Amino acid sequence: MYIKQISVFLENTKGTLHEMMQLLGEHQINILAISLADTSGFGIVRLVVKSDDIDKALKVLADAGDMARVNDVVGIRVPHQPLGLATVLGQLDAADISIEYAYSFCRNTSDDAVIILRVNDAVKCAEVLQAKQVPLVAQADVDKF
């Protein structure tokens, strides 16, 4: 039901993101979605890759001395049009689910937009979305992108 997200700690120095992307690319790992959170002191890169690439990516990152971890995030499919995402967020808001962060896929196989949500309560969020018939995007769906 969820999407597996890889988060990687990034030191706040020049070129670290490039280095990481270069490294993953050299190992033939394609990034399906990416978001970079930066603070004044450090950064966190969040990535979504195909299922087959998850363990490989973790190993490549660990070998390079990077701190990485995997966690579940919610994927939703929303109409690619004005208010497409806003409608869903309104529903989540009404259900008291707060969004920690959100980002979208670089591309996917449908005309809809696919948004990744990190929420405070993923289980409740999925329930709300299912009740509202918002299409969820799981890791298995991501593999077909």
Partner 1 sequence: MAIKDKIYNPEMECMSREELTKLQGERLAKTVKLVYDNVPTYRERMDAKGVKPEDITCLADIVKLPFTEKTDLRDQFPFGLLASPKEKIVRIQGSSGTTGKPIVSGYTEGDVEVWTEMVARALSAAGCTNEDIVQVCYGYGLFTGGLGAHQGATRLGAMTIPMSSGNTQRQIMMMNELGSTILMCTPSYAAYLGESIREAGLVPGKDIKLKAGVFGAEPWTEEMRKQIEELLGIDAMDIYGLTEIGGPGVAFECFNKHGMHVNEDHVIAEIIDPITEQQLPYGTPGELVFTTITKEGQPMLRYRTHDICTLYNDPCPCGRTHVRMGRITGRTDDMLVIRGVNVFPSQIEGVLVGIEGVAPHYVLVVDRVNHTDTLEVKVELTEEMFSDTVSHIEKIQKKITEQIKSVVGIMAKVTLVPPKSIPRSEGKAKRIIDNRKL
Q: Minimum distance from CB of 133 to partner 1 (Å)?
A: 28
Q: Is 94 left (phi over 0), alpha (psi -120 to 50) or beta?
A: alpha
Q: Minimum distance from CB of 67 to partner 1 (Å)?
A: 5
Nearer to partner 1, 69 or 80 (CB): 69
Nearer to partner 1, 42 or 93 (CB): 42
Q: Minimum distance from CB of 116 to partner 1 (Å)?
A: 11
Whole-angstrom Cα Rg for the chain: 16
Where does this chain bind partner 1 (CB under 8 A)?
5, 7, 9, 11, 37, 39, 41-42, 44, 46, 65-67, 69, 71, 100-101, 118
Q: Minimum distance from CB of 83 to partner 1 (Å)?
A: 27
Nearer to partner 1, 55 or 100 (CB): 100
